[in-house]
Structure 1
Amino acid sequence: MEVHHHAHDPAAPHHKKNWKSYFWEFLMLFLAVFCGFLAEYQLEHKIERDRAKELARSFYGELKKDSVTAAIKVENRLKQEAALKYLISFFKDSSLNNVSKTYAINFEYGISFRSPTLFEPRAMMLDQLKNSGSLRYFKNETLQELIGDLTVAIKNIYSRQDLEHEQRLLYINPILINHYDYDFNDVMKKDGKTIFEAIHQYETSNKTLPYKINQVEILDRQNTINKLNFYLGNVLSSTRQVHIQKYIEVNAELLKLLRKEYHLK
C-alpha cells in the first residue's frame, strides 16, 4: 500500500498580510457600518418628520374648528350680555304687568339660555399629543410652549364655566323659577322646535305672543338688578374677556406657527 505524505513545500508562495491590508479591511468594515448607521438615522429622521407633519395636520384641523366655535360662543356671550343689560335697565322702572316682546326675547337670551354660551374645546388631538408622548416629534420649542399654554387656557375655561354654573344656581335660576312664563315656553315649542330655534324664529317674525312675569308681587326690583349685575360683570363677562380671549390668542398663534413650520393651509 502506497502512503502519500503531504509535506509543506518550501517553494510555495507565503501570503502573509502586512499592516496596510489590515488597515484597509478595517477601514472598509468601518465605512460599511457607518454608512448603515447613517442610512438608519436618515430613515428614522424621515419617519419622525412624516409623523410630526401628520400629527400637525390633525392638530391644525382641530384648532381651526375650535377657532370657529370660539368665535360663535363669543358672539352668543355678547348677545347674552346685551340681554342682561336690557333686563337690568327694564327692572329699574318699567311696568311689570305689561311686558313687551322685546322683554320676552331678552329674558330668553339673558336668563333662560346657557348652553349656547358654553365653550367646550375639542381636545382629542391635544390629549393624544400629551398622553402618547408624541409631543417629542415637535422639535420647535415655541410650539411646545404654546401647546402648554393652550392646555392651561382650556383648563381655566372649564374652571370658569363651572364657576358660572355655581353662580347661576345661586342667583339666576331663582329668577327663572319664580318669574318665567312657562306657558310662553310651551307655546314656543309646540311644533317640536327647540326653544333655541323657536326664539330665533320669533325674534325675526312679526307676530307677538302673550307673555307675563309670574309672581310679580314677590319680585324685588333692586335685588334682581343686583343679581343680574353681579352675574353679568363678575362672572359672565370676565370669562369671555379673560379666559376665552386667552384661548383665542393662543389658538391663533398655534395656527400661525403650524402653518409656517409644516406648510399647512
Structure 2
Amino acid sequence: MDALSEPPQPKSKKFLSGNFNKYLFEFSLLFLAVFLGFFADSMREENAEKQLAYELAKSFYEELKNDSITVMSKIEGRIKKEKAIDYMVTFLKDSSLHTSSKSLAINFLWATTARTPIIFTPRTVIFQQLKSSGSLRYFKNQRLQQLVGDLSVSIEYILERQELEAAVYKLYIEPIMIDHMDFDFQGKLFDTGIFDRLASYESSDEYIPFHLSQPEKINREAYINALRYYHTNNIKSTRMIPFEAYVKVNAELLKELRHEFQLTY
C-alpha cells in the first residue's frame, strides 16, 4: 500500500514576517511619496499666495501713496476756496458792487466757479480688485483687513458728501456765478488754459478788468447766507471730517503695508 502523501506544510513565521515587512516598507514608501507630493503642492501654493499677496500689496501701496498726495492738494484747494468765500462774504457786507479789482475777480472765481481743485476721486482699481475678487483673503494680517474696511467707509463718506456739495452748489452758488460773472473777463483769462492759467494770473502783475454783472440784482443778505452755508456746512465740514478721516486711515494703511510686506517709501 502506497504511503499517504504528506499535507503541505504551512509557511514559516519567518517567511510571513519577511513578506509583511516588505509590504510595510513599500506602503511606507508610497505613503511618503504621496505625502511629500501633497506637501510640495501645499508649499508651492503657499509661496504662490505669498507672492500674489506681495504683488497686490505693492500695487495697493502705490495706489494709496498717489492718493495721499492727491488728497492733500484737494485739501489745499478747499482751504483756498473757503478763504475766497470769506472774502466774498466780507465784500458783500458793505463794499461797492461797482468796484473793480484783481482780488475781487480771483476770489469771485474761486468762490463761485472753481470745483475741480476741491473734488477728490480716489484711485480704487486695486482696492476694488481686492474687494470684488476675494483677494483680500491673501492679507492674513487682521489689522490690514480692518484698515481696508475703514478705507472703504471713508471713501464712501467722501463721495456721499461731494454729491451733497454738488447739489448745494447747483442750487445756490451756480446761479450767483451765472448772473454776476464777468464773462468777458473769463474769456480773456481762460484763452490759453484753466487752473494753470488762473494760478499764473494770480502770481503775476497782469491785470484784466473785472466787473460784477448785473450788480443791481445782487441780494446781499441772500448771497451771504448762501455762501456761508456752502462754506461751513459743505466745503469746510467735508474737509474737516471725511477728508481728515481718509488721510488718517490712508497713512495707517501705508504704514501697515510697509511693515507687513517690507515695502519702501
Q: TM-score, normalised by structure 1?
A: 0.91
1:124 matched to which residue of 2? 125
2: CA distance, partners of 1:121 / 1:96: 40
User: What is the number of residues matched between the two proteins?
Assistant: 253
1:172 matched to which residue of 2? 173
5+ residue gaps, structure 1, are: 1-9
> What SS does the aligned partner of 1:241 have?
helix
Q: TM-score, normalised by structure 2?
A: 0.91
Structure 1 residues 140-197: Cα deviation after superposition (integer angstroms, max 9, x where no partner): 111111111111111111111110000001110111011111110011123xx22312
Deviation at 1:100, TM superposition (A): 1.6
Structure 1 residues 208-241: Cα deviation after superposition (integer angstroms, max 9, x where no partner): 2211111111111111110000000001111111
2:152 matched to which residue of 1? 151
Contact 2:190 2:198 in 1 (8 A): no
Deviation at 1:41, TM superposition (A): 1.2
1:135 matched to which residue of 2? 136
2:198 matched to which residue of 1? 199
Structure 1 residues 19-62: Cα deviation after superposition (integer angstroms, max 9, x where no partner): 43333333332222222222111111111101100110111111
1:85 matched to which residue of 2? 86
Deviation at 1:198, TM superposition (A): 2.3
2: CA distance, partners of 1:23 / 1:195: 83
1:30 matched to which residue of 2? 31
2:5 matched to which residue of 1? none
1:211 matched to which residue of 2? 210
Contact 1:101 1:209 in 2 (8 A): yes
1:7 matched to which residue of 2? none
Letter in 2 for 1:131: S
Contact 1:56 1:262 in 2 (8 A): yes
1: CA distance, partners of 2:15 / 2:47: 46
Contact 2:57 2:257 in 1 (8 A): yes
**Percentage of identical aligned residues:** 46
2:260 matched to which residue of 1? 261
2: CA distance, partners of 1:216 / 1:195: 25
Contact 2:99 2:211 in 1 (8 A): yes
Contact 1:185 1:195 in 2 (8 A): no
1:5 matched to which residue of 2? none
Instruction: Supply the RMSD in Å over aligned alpha carbons.
Output: 1.8
Deviates more, 1:36-45 or 1:78-87: 36-45
Deviation at 1:206, TM superposition (A): 1.1
Letter in 2 for 1:210: P
1: CA distance, partners of 2:72 / 2:190: 28
2:221 matched to which residue of 1? 222
> What SS does the aligned partner of 1:205 have?
coil
2: CA distance, partners of 1:17 / 1:73: 85
Letter in 2 for 1:153: S
1:99 matched to which residue of 2? 100
1: CA distance, partners of 2:194 / 2:227: 22
